[in-house]
Structure 1
Amino acid sequence: MAVASFKLHFMYIVNAIFIFAFLNKASSIVPLRNEGYFATSNSYSSSREVMSSQSYCRDSVYSEPVPNFQWMSDEETRQRSQTSPGNTARLRAAVDRYMKGDNLTVVFLGGSITAGQGAVDGKAFPFWAEEILQGSMGNRVRVHNGAVPGTLSAYMSVCHNVHAPREAADIVFIDYSINDPTDSFPAMDNMMRRPFERLLRKLLNYPRRPAVILIHAYRWISVDGVKTYWKSCERDFHDFGIYYGLPELSVKAGAYELMLQGIPGFIVNRTRADHNGRIQQAIDSTLKGNVFYWDIIHPDGQTGHKFMGEIAAQAVLDAWSSVKASSCTEKELLSVKKPLLPPLLSNNYESASDRCFIGPVFVKAVISNESWVYKDEGSSARPKLGFISEKPHAQLKIKVNTTSSTGMKEKEVTVEISYLKSYVNMGMARVECISGCICLGTKMDGHTTDKTSLLNLHEFKASQHEECVMAITILEETSSGKHKVKIAGITISEEGGGEGIKNNMAIDMVMEGVSKEGSSTAEFDMKTWGRLHKV
């Protein structure tokens, strides 16, 4: 467990770096050569003929042209990416509702690839999928991209409620195959895979019983400079896919041979960005539209992202074609409502209550805020919402459910309070549990001598209780001479004895992409974030 904990902490650090890089629109990964990122060369045939003559048959394949869209891949390649059809009942039921007049809400969750890193002058793959689906099926198809760079599935399992439109989701694509740690012990039933299964179970139990589709990104070359076919979580995730009957899409299955052949758009012997994450102007005309990757991890917006969008859209279009050919049966519709199997991993039940409170959902968790005001201290481009007070003894009360569904009721959960730490006017506060749950009182200091103003996480342990009331009280004691305290949110670990999300940069980014209080939706969306930041 100590080794696993070290690896998880290492991943937290790596992922924080990715968020920082994303926010600054540049990658800071170490280059393999001075000219840019280079993948291992190979001596595979340079034939331009695309793939073999194998036939990949499906019951129904959508093959009609999409108005004003030029496919990058051929139909056979996209079909080959569909490595497992899974139980198609949920997918067909979603499309069936659409054909009867409902909207079709397609949700994408994941890390930096899904969020769009690498799509510098192209689209993130969820928005390529959106273009294809709306061009084919019409504007009643809605795409919601709730991905955040630098996050693991463990983060999303806790915070899915502020990233996915729970009441509307019909289809959910999940992309964590190269985000989550690959080396884990013991096999499968460990602190790295357990959150992934809980995330699946939560999504599958959403009100509309959405189809959950695993989309496996692929990294041609690993960070240590070694080309590898297998170094991802795709194999582990496949077991969950089999168990829960989830459709699966694999970039590797569809594109690997094209990469070996050096087919334009799938070229991997170098990347489009240089080692500073910038376009190589002198040679970009030969790279743009030809190389698959922007850097050694993220696909390029003109190619790799487009391919991922195409295979995602093809899966939905095939289901549409299938339902048009043969309507959903009553048996299919009933099967969608069946309860899930017990967890694959030991006692790994999903929590029944929300564990993540950021933005408007945090407002609802606050039960008393006398002398505190919820306001935005940021700009229109970077909103900074939170409860703020500068009055000593002012108390903010928060009520949350800290019980775990995975057993170990005697073990404490980890609570993380998001608070502002700055060099201007910040004060101190005491954090304590005052009803229901029990915790040791702790002190939180918002002052720092560094010339920065960032959200930090104040972590402590609390006992499990359905109605845990915590209080944050501003102290007269201060290290700055001032008393301002700002609280932006709270998260609770899912398992007794489990760790927190340890990702203050993700929460900071989410604060900029959630709708403000009073809006119709409270979920983080990359479109909203992108509009604010003009990217």
Structure 2
Amino acid sequence: GLWLRVCYPPPPHNALSSPVAEPYARLLAVPHHFTLGLEQLQRGVVSQGDRTRLRNFVRKLAHGEPVNVGFLGASITVGQGSTYPRERGYAPLVYKYLHNVSDAIGYNNAGVGAVTNGYFAMCMSNHLKPDNDLIVVDMCVNDMIQLYDASHSAHESILRQLLAQPRRPAVVEAMFPRLFAYYRGRPLYSSSHADQIGVLAQYYNLPWVATRSAVWPDFLKNATGYALDDLVIQDHTHPTDRGHAIMADLLIHLLRQEARALGTSEPWTEFDDRLLARETTEPMLEATPREGTPGICRVGEAARQLALPANSTGFEWVDEGKPGNPKWGWVGRKAGDELLLQFSTLVESAASLADMAKMHFMYLRSYDQMGIANVSCVQGCTCPHLKIDALKNIHASETMVVSLPISQSPSCVLSVQILERPKDPSLTKFKVVGIGISL
């Protein structure tokens, strides 16, 4: 339903209500109608982390310097669940507030529907510009992240790539909840990947906001405005207009906290400059590349051009997305359909051609009609044989990434052939999204 959003009242605490110096007072004066009350806002900012980069962004924004803000995530960042994604999604709501503070701001919504951390670890540069001052990361509900495994390492790789951007951006983790029992044996509170991502947020000392932290006491009471249907749509994952507004509130509150500090008792000093120049710490996980370098990502039109249509049978180049959120890929629909892809596996940074590269095979895993496929190197290169089952046992669709060693070659031919599913021959759809190559 529709909920009246009221202005956030001035905090009663004397220290917080002291006069804020210009230009930081502008961030507090720009109107924003908060859905959440002060107590909820304070709960929802789980950690301010190392505040230096966020302070730097707020400082530049307040002084009218040119700044860029990026949003990296899956369908929630695209705006799914809201009635008007380009206006009522959390990302455009935050951007609207920032633009009202200063019109010298660029906006890059790098949301891509139905992708996982492995996808962005390889293909982030295809979507997110490299010149951001603030980046909000929403990758909490997709994927099957287990502590310290490959999917966990993929998220760490994303963070390292973002932190290494030349403008030393503030990176903020924005954690949405799943409000259904995704993992057997876990409490509902832990159905998202906030716990796993939270370990990395703590390791890199990142600012971290979470919807579940802000609303959980009210959600448990089924309080007005905080019932299940108030927060998420029917899939119990994508936020409603109100759910998007709650996340926007938390992010804006986080920024206003820093504006208040900079304009009162914690002005920017040379000490902040020294902190800003620090290098990022070493990776937490052994599997994470130090630089998080992604290599080459071939998706979209680049993936279309890899196919050898004269030698392939049954597969078609199809967009299964919605307006504003395309989902292109090669789709086969019956057993025996075969797609041949030809591409280079050479990696410039390799010390020798004898060094094995890594192939990152991207495919759709979904709950509807999905089948099994054999993936094998058939000409010009060698790689382990893969048998992939693309059927997912819950109502969700995601672009999965499976990585395997592959020999370096200027011309490698990969075969993807759909198999018959023994217990249900009708499930034979398979979709190839793209190919990545790294060292």
TM tier relative to shorter chain: 0.5 to 0.7
Structure 2 residue runs without a partner (length 5+): 1-7, 307-316, 330-340, 364-375, 386-398, 415-431
Deviations 1:361-410 (A, max 9, x none): 899x99xxxxxxxxx999xx789999xxxxxxxx98757527689xxx96
Is 1:308 aligned to residue 267 of structure 2? Answer: no
The reply to whether residue 64 of structure 1 matches residue 64 of structure 2 is: no
Asked if the contact 2:141/2:177 (under 8 Å) is kept, the reply is: yes
**In the alignment, structure 1 residue 212 sits paired with structure 2 residue 171:** yes
Deviation (angstroms), 1:57: 8.5
The equivalent of 2:199 in structure 1 is: 239
The alignment status of 1:401 with 2:347, answered yes or no, reads yes
- Equivalences for 1:50-61 in 2 at 5 Å? none
- For residues 89 and 117 of structure 1, the distance between their equivalents in structure 2, rounded to whole angstroms, comes to 32
Query: Structure 2 vs 1, CA of residues 462 and 95 (structure 1 numbering), >3 Å: closer, same or farther?
Result: same
Residue 402 of structure 1 contacts residue 463 of structure 1 at CA under 8 Å; is this kept in 2? no
CA offset at residue 327 of structure 1? 3.7
> Counterpart of 1:229 in 2: which secondary structure?
helix
Report what 1:35 is aligned to. Answer: none
1:333 has 2:298 as partner: no
| Residue 131 (str. 1) matches residue 96 (str. 2) | yes
Normalising by structure 2, we get a TM-score of 0.66
Determine the structure 2 residue equivalent to 1:260: 220
Please name the residue that 1:470 is paired with.
411
SS in 2 for 1:174: strand
Q: Deviation of residue 213 (structure 1)? A: 0.8
Instruction: Give the distance between the partners of 2:342 and 2:277, measured in 1 at CA.
Output: 41
In 2 relative to 1, CA 224–411 (structure 1 residues): closer, same or farther, beyond 3 Å? same
Q: Does 1:142 align with 2:106?
A: yes
User: Cα 1:133–1:470, aligned 2, differ >3 Å: closer, same or farther?
Assistant: same
**Structure 1 residue 100, shift from structure 2 partner:** 4.3
Residues 464 and 338 of structure 1, relative CA distance in 2, 3 Å threshold: farther
Count of equivalent residues? 354
Q: Distance in 1 between matches of 2:342 and 2:109?
A: 32
- In structure 2, distance between residues paired with 1:253 and 1:56: 25
What SS is found at the alignment partner of 1:249? strand
Distance 1:237 1:345 in 2: 13
1:152 equivalenced with 2:116 (yes/no): yes
Q: Residues 403 and 203 from structure 1, CA distance in 2 versus in 1: closer, same or farther, beyond 3 angstroms? A: same
Amino acid at match of 1:334: R
| Secondary structure class of the residue paired with 1:151 | coil
Question: Would the aligned equivalents of 2:61 and 2:102 in 1 still touch at CA under 8 Å?
Answer: no
Change (3 A) 1:431 1:193: closer
- How far, CA to CA, are the matches of 1:417 and 1:101 in structure 2? 42
Unaligned segments of structure 1, at least 5 residues: 1-49, 272-290, 367-375, 387-394, 419-429, 443-455, 474-486, 496-535
Instruction: Render the CA deviation track for 1:115-170: whole Å, top value 9, x for unaligned.
Output: 222112461111121222223x122233322122211111111111012111x211
Q: In the alignment, which residue of structure 1 is the partner of 2:138?
A: 175
Work out the CA distance in 2 between the residues paired with 1:223 and 1:147: 23
CA distance in structure 1 between the partners assigned to 2:157 and 2:362 by the alignment:
22
In 1: Cα distance, 2:191 partner to 2:124 partner: 26
Deviation at 1:220? 2.9
Distance 1:461 1:253, change over 3 A: closer
**Equivalences for residues 288-437 of structure 1 within 5 A:** 291-325=230-264, 326-349=266-289, 350-352=291-293, 354-358=295-299, 401=347, 411-416=356-361
**Which digits, 9 at most, give the CA deviation of each residue in 1:61-93, with x for residues without a partner?**
9883543x4321123322221111100111112
In the superposition, relative to structure 1, how do residues 400 and 163 fare at CA in structure 2: closer, same or farther (>3 Å)?
A: farther
Alpha-carbon spacing, 1:331–1:399, altered in 2? closer, same or farther (3 Å): farther
8 A Cα contact 1:415 1:491, kept in partner: yes
**Structure 1 residue aligned with 2:44, among 51, 76, 81?**
81
Offset from partner CA, 1:433-471 (integer Å, 9 cap, x none): 87xxx547x9xxxxxxxxxxxxx9999966466xx6336
Q: CA deviation at 1:195?
A: 0.7
CA distance in 2, matches of 1:196, 1:461: 18
Shift in CA distance, 219/352, structure 1 to aligned 2, threshold 3 Å: closer
Contact residue 56 and residue 76 of structure 1 kept, 8 A: no
Between the aligned partners of 2:400 and 2:411, the Cα distance in structure 1 is: 16
Note closer, same or farther for the CA distance 1:318–1:140 as it changes in structure 2 (3 Å cut). Answer: farther
Residues in 1 aligned to 2:318 and 2:179: alpha-carbon distance in whole angstroms: 43
SS in 2 for 1:193: helix
Match status 1:222 vs 2:181: yes
Contact 2:50 2:205 in 1 (8 A): yes
1:190 aligns with 2:149: yes
Give 1:294 deviation, angstroms.
1.3
What's the Cα RMSD here? Answer: 4.5
Q: CA 1:258–1:142 in structure 2 vs 1: closer, same or farther (change >3 Å)?
A: farther
1:201 to partner: Cα distance:
0.7
Structure number having the greater strand percentage: 2
CA shift digits 1:238-285 (9 cap, x unpaired):
2211211101101111111222333333222xx3xxxxxxxxxxxxxx
Closer/same/farther in 2, CA of residues 400 and 74 from structure 1, 3 Å limit? farther
Q: Is the 8 A contact 2:119 2:362 kept in 1?
A: no
CA separation of 1:248/1:116 partners in 2, compared to 1, >3 Å: closer, same or farther?
A: same
Amino acid at match of 1:107: G
State the alpha-carbon separation in 2 of the partners of residues 469 and 239 from structure 1.
40
For residues 83 and 245 of structure 1, what CA distance do their matches in structure 2 show?
A: 12
In the alignment, is the contact (CA less than 8 A) between 1:153 and 1:176 conserved in 2? yes
Query: SS of 2:255's equivalent?
Result: helix
2:436 maps to 1:491: yes
Deviation digits for residues 278-301 of structure 1 (CA, Å, limit 9, x no counterpart) = xxxxxxxxxxxxx12212433444
- Give the TM-score normalised by the residue count of structure 1: 0.55
Task: Please state whether the residue corresponding to 2:34 is helix, strand or coil.
Answer: coil
Paired-residue identity, %: 19
The alpha carbon displacement at 1:347 in A equals 4.9
